[in-house]
Each structure stands twice: as structure tokens, then as C-alpha cells.
């Protein structure tokens, strides 16, 4: 089927755009010698892992279930790497994580010392550092270098007890940022922690770099990685999420109703609160096109201005205000762009709103259904399976 035929609401992964991003990341790997890992917290569409495995070194996880997913869907079938970092680990998870992960990164000295005896010799051990060097300008809520941050070990707290137990250090300080910010951060890391790098096996520079976005200095990134590897005789890792799947998917939605209240409001079968929570959390306003593939404009820019809102009871379930050349009515479709990332990994069933189906669209424009969700996916999260179900009523 084609994009115009998929059942709404649904996410559609654009494999052509995904491959475009992966080709750039694959070039960085080849020319720099870096290991690039998909940050599954951003995109966990494991049906696409066979494609991703052709270009980059593996996956990284932020918790036990993501680590299991990486182990089962990427590491086991394709022989790829599987890494994990979390602010803290439960005792019951640590042994399993050490067994299924190639690298296990601890957030604090206390966590390292607590789990060290149970993971030693089973995985490569590292710690997250915090250079306390902020480069965030637009998203302060995503800045782990602010005073009071829970993330990472500061230079003043880094000591020989830590050094003698680890193979590498990890930092992650950026969000949707360019090479200049990474370069400045690396200089600060070298200034504070450079004396330790020759004694380590690896340096993980985290994610948050928009490597595949237009205008990113890919050549500068390659040169930086090569310099670090040569200077310190060290392996270098990157953990992009958005850079893997940026602009590689849409959320397809249908207009259910048009409400008039000082302006025209389109009630959609997709919800910001349920299906694209970053729209409310960041916040940001996604790019929208209509069935004629015409891009929506800013409010007042085009003939007709509408507010796009979700079908939940939350008054603030508003996607944004847009203008269009043509009138919109129930049954019309709209396409919300850049919805492969931080969408189906974060969605929810608030109000009992169904989860969108997931499709993949190949390079020829043909769509295939990957996953469809039903009432059971809502019910199973809320109570005992032994309780009376609707089928027995």
C-alpha cells in the first residue's frame, strides 16, 4: 500500500531517509575508526536493525529492557556491540547487564564500588564524567552540566580508586547540537581528564550531535576522532539517536472534527500528549504537510489558520497553530514530520487512546505493516491477567 492508504493514526518509518542518515554515519566510522552505536532511547524500531547493522557498530541502552532488546535484536543476530548506561542499577539487574553488554557505564563512584565485584571480568567497565561545561542554549532542561545535576563524576571527585577499576570514561552533554559544541567540550574534557586518557582503553563521547543534519561539519568530526585515537591510543565511541533516524518518519493522522472557538480547531485522531509527547515536553512545533504534500505555514501566513489538537481530555493537548491554502474538514489527512524519533518509544495510552500502528515505507514508496495495537495492549498494563476480561462479560 501507499502512504495515502495506511490506517490512521500510524507512524511510518521512511527507510530511504534512514539509509541516507546511516550512509553518513557509516562514512564517519570508516574514515575515523570510531564505533557508532544507536541510542535506543530515541529509536527502538528493531524491525530496521538489519538495515542499521549494515552501517554502524551496534546499540546502546539506558536500562535493562533496552539492553535486552539490543542483545536480542542486534548483538545476537548480527554480532554487534551492546552497551548500557543508567544513573543507577538495581542489584538484580547488574549481573544480567554485565552478561549481555560489552560495556557497562556507572554514573557515580558509589555505584561503581557497589557493583564492581559482581561485574568485574564480565564486561568492560566505565564511568560517566561531568565536565560541568554547558553548551546548551535552547534546551536547558536537557543540560546535564548544570549545578545540581545528578549526572556523572566531577573532576574533583575522580580519584585513583575509580581509575584502577575502569577501562573507559563516558560523557554526554549535548542535545541537538553541532560540531563546534562537541569540539569545545572535548577540549574541556582533555583539560580536566586528559592525564587519565592514556591509561584507558576507550572514550565514549555520548550522543546529542546532529551529525546527519544539513550543514554539520562531518569532516571536522572525523578529524577530531582520529586525533583522539592517535594522541591517546584509545578507542572512541559515539552514541547518536536522532542522527540515526532524524526526518526518517511521519505520524499520519486524520481530522475527526472542526470546532469553532475564536478560531477553527481541528480535532485529530493523533494526540500530542499520547503520540508525540516531546511536542509538549521540549516544547516544539513539528512540520506538517497535507494530502497534497503542501507544507503548512505559520499562523496567518496562508489563507486559513487552524489549531491542531488531540482527541484527549487534556486541555493542553495542542500540537500547534498552522495555516493552509485549502480548507480542512473531517476525513482529511495530515502528516507530522520527524516522528521516527522520541515518538513510539515514549507514547502512551492516556484516556484509553489506541496506540498508533507502525509501518515501514521502502525506497519505492511501498508501505508494509510492522505492528498493529489493540485493546489488549491497553488492558495488559493495568491489572491482572486473571481478572475477568471483556471477552467473558
Mean pLDDT, residues 27-37? 98
* 143 to 126, 195, 245, 268: CA distances (angstroms): 21, 26, 22, 33
Mean pLDDT, residues 18-41? 98
Band (391; pLDDT cuts 50, 70, 90): low
Domains of the chain and any CATH numbers? 3-11+246-379 (2.40.37.10), 15-245 (3.20.20.10)
**Amino acid 261: pLDDT:** 97
Mean pLDDT, residues 30-53? 98
Mean pLDDT, residues 144-173? 96
Band (176; pLDDT cuts 50, 70, 90): confident
Band (387; pLDDT cuts 50, 70, 90): low
User: Is there a contact between 352 and 374 (Cβ–Cβ < 8 Å)?
Assistant: no
CA distance 250 to 136: 27
89-106, pLDDT tens digit by residue? Answer: 999 999 999 999 999 999
188-237, pLDDT tens digit by residue? Answer: 999 999 999 999 999 999 999 999 999 999 999 999 999 999 999 999 99
User: Is there a contact between 177 and 211 (Cβ–Cβ < 8 Å)?
Assistant: no
Q: Give the cell for residue 283.
A: 516544547
Q: Going by C-beta distance under 8 Å and a sequence separation of 6 or more, which residues neighbour residue 159?
A: 109
Q: How far apart are the first and last CA of the chain?
A: 37
- Kindly tell me if the per-residue pLDDT of 388 is higher than 70: no
187-201, pLDDT tens digit by residue? Answer: 999 999 999 999 999
238-297, pLDDT tens digit by residue? Answer: 999 999 999 999 999 999 999 999 999 999 999 999 999 999 998 889 999 998 888 999
Indicate the pTM of the whole model: 0.94
- Kindly tell me if the per-residue pLDDT of 389 is higher than 60: no
287-332, pLDDT tens digit by residue? Answer: 999 988 889 999 999 999 999 999 999 999 999 999 999 999 999 9
Q: Give the cell for residue 306.
A: 487552524
**Amino acid 140: pLDDT:** 75
Band (357; pLDDT cuts 50, 70, 90): very high
- pLDDT cut 70: percent of the chain above it: 98
- Kindly tell me if the per-residue pLDDT of 390 is higher than 90: no
> Which residue in 335, 334, 243 sits closest to 17, CA to CA?
243
CA distance 5 to 366: 10
- Kindly tell me if the per-residue pLDDT of 393 is higher than 70: no
Amino acid at each position: 500500500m501507499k502512504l495515502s492508504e495506511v490506517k490512521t493514526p500510524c507512524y511510518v518509518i521512511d527507510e530511504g531517509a534512514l539509509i541516507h542518515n546511516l550512509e553518513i554515519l557509516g562514512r564517519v566510522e570508516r574514515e575515523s575508526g570510531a564505533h557508532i552505536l544507536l541510542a535506543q532511547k530515541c529509536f527502538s524500531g528493531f524491525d530496521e536493525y538489519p538495515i542499521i547493522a549494515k552501517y554502524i557498530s551496534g546499540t546502546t541502552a539506558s536500562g535493562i529492557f533496552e539492553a535486552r532488546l539490543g542483545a536480542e535484536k542486534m548483538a545476537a543476530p548480527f554480532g554487534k556491540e551492546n552497551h548500557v548506561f543508567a544513573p543507577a542499577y538495581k542489584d538484580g539487574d547488574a549481573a544480567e547487564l554485565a552478561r549481555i553488554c560489552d560495556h557497562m557505564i556507572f554514573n557515580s563512584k558509589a555505584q561503581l564500588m557497589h557493583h564492581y565485584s559482581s561485574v568485574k571480568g564480565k564486561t568492560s567497565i566505565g564511568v560517566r564524567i561531568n565536565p560541568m561545561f554547558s553548551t546548551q542554549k535552547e534546551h536547558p532542561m536537557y543540560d546535564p552540566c548544570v549545578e545540581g545535576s545528578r549526572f556523572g563524576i566531577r573532576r574533583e571527585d575522580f580519584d585513583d580508586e575509580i581509575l584502577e577499576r575502569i577501562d573507559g570514561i563516558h560523557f554526554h552533554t549535548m542535545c541537538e547540537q553541532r560540531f563546534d559544541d562537541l569540539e569545545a567540550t572535548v577540549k574541556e574534557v582533555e583539560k580536566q581528564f586528559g592525564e587519565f586518557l592514556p591509561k584507558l582503553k576507550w572514550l565514549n563521547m555520548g550522543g546529542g550531535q546532529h551529525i546527519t543534519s544539513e550543514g554539520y561539519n562531518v569532516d571536522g568530526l572525523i578529524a577530531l576522532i582520529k586525533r583522539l585515537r592517535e594522541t591517546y591510543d584509545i578507542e572512541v565511541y559515539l552514541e547518536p539517536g536522532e542522527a540515526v533516524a532524524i526526518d526518517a518518519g511521519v505520524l499520519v493522522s486524520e481530522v475527526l472534527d472542526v470546532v469553532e472557538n475564536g478560531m477553527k480547531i481541528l480535532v485529530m485522531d493523533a494526540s500530542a500528549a499520547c503520540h508525540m509527547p516531546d511536542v509538549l515536553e521540549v516544547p516544539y512545533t513539528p512540520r506538517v504537510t497535507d494530502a497534497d504534500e503542501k507544507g503548512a505555514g505559520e499562523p496567518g501566513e496562508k489563507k486559513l489558520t487552524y489549531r491542531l489538537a488531540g482527541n484527549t481530555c487534556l486541555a493542553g493537548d495542542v500540537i500547534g497553530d498552522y495555516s493552509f491554502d485549502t480548507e480542512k474538514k473531517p476525513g482529511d489527512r495530515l502528516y507530522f514530520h520527524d516522528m521516527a524519533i522520541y515518538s513510539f518509544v515514549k507514547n502512551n495510552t492516556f484516556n484509553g487512546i489506541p496506540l498508533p500502528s507502525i509501518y515501514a515505507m521502502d525506497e519505492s514508496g511501498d508501505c508494509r505493516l510492522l505492528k498493529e495495537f489493540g485493546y489488549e495492549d491497553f488492558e495488559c498494563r493495568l491489572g491482572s491477567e486473571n481478572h475477568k476480561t471483556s471477552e467473558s462479560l
